[in-house]
Amino acid sequence: MTAIQGSEANRFTHEIMRRQITAMVEDVITVAQDNLKDIRPGSAADVRNAGRVIATFSPAMAETDRLIKKMLMTRIYRHPEVMRVRKDAALIVTDLYKAFMADPREMLKHYWIDQIPGMAEPAKARHVGDYLAGMTDTYAIAVHRRLFDHTPDLQ
């Protein structure tokens, strides 16, 4: 058997994902239809009081979902390269948070910077956190490079 490469591999991966999502959606719809036939609700209150979840996976699909999540956790989300990028990203966010808390003017022309000196510490932290949350990755890296000389390469 020949290995799948390049754009063919991308199409193959996309097709597998598409088919898995379709199978999962169809499974939920089938289970929900069967449950609705069983409880025969006449109102939304009947659904709320049914004593069970109406739209859910079948036991077989729930097991498939569990296995997919386990595989993603071990092979993707916790992959050493992903963990390295997460660690570097956490460093950038932590450094920026500390810098902005120490001197909010480092956020440059944000519209509420002038109000920060009079804010209580929790309100100031919330504003800085909101500002950080609104940053794109590219912008956060650029600001970190402007403020620090140890910006990690997230590539």
Considering the chain, what percentage of its residues have pLDDT values greater than 70? Answer: 95
Is the per-residue pLDDT at 95 higher than 90?
A: yes
Distances (CA, A) of 16 to 48, 67, 76, 85, 114: 35, 15, 17, 27, 52
Instruction: Give the separation between CA 82 and CA 86, rounded to whole angstroms.
Output: 6
Please answer whether residues 47 and 40 qualify as being in contact, where contact means their C-beta atoms are separated by less than 8 angstroms.
Answer: no
Nearest to 81 by CA among 152, 154, 138: 154
Is the per-residue pLDDT at 119 higher than 90?
A: no
Model confidence band, residue 25 (pLDDT cutoffs 50, 70, 90) = very high
Considering the chain, what percentage of its residues have pLDDT values greater than 90? Answer: 66
If you average pLDDT over residues 116-132, what whole number do you get? 89
pLDDT at position 117 is 75
Is the per-residue pLDDT at 5 higher than 80?
A: no
- Reduced to 3 states, what is the DSSP secondary structure of residue 15? helix
Nearest to 26 by CA among 52, 47, 48, 55: 55
